[in-house]
Chain A
Amino acid sequence: GAGVSQSPSNKVTEKGKDVELRCDPISGHTALYWYRQSLGQGLEFLIYFQGNSAPDKSGLPSDRFSAERTGGSVSTLTIQRTQQEDSAVYLCASSLAGQGRADTQYFGPGTRLTVL
Chain B
Amino acid sequence: AQTVTQSQPEMSVQEAETVTLSCTYDTSESDYYLFWYKQPPSRQMILVIRQEAYKQQNATENRFSVNFQKAAKSFSLKISDSQLGDAAMYFCAYRSPLSGTYKYIFGTGTRLKVLA
Residues of A bordering B, CB below 8 Å = 31, 33, 35, 40-43, 45, 48, 50, 56, 89, 91, 93, 98-102, 104-110, 112
Contacts and interface: CB of A to CB of B under 8 A. Distances in A.
B97 to A, nearest CB: 6
Interface string B12-29: 000000000000000000
Contacts of A99: 99-102
The contact size tier of chain B is: 20 to 34
A45 B103 contact: yes
B33 A102 contact: yes
A45 B44 contact: no
A41 B108 contact: yes
Interface of B: 4, 33, 37, 42-47, 50, 52, 91, 95, 97, 99-104, 106-109
A11 B6 CA distance: 30
A80 B102 CA distance: 27
Contact of B43 (A41, A42, A98, A110): A110
Contacts of A42: 4, 91, 106-109
Nearest to B95: A102
9 contacts: A31-B102, A42-B4, A42-B109, A102-B95, A105-B104, A107-B44, A109-B44, A110-B43, A112-B43
Contacts of A93: 45
B50 A45 contact: no
Contacts of B100: 99
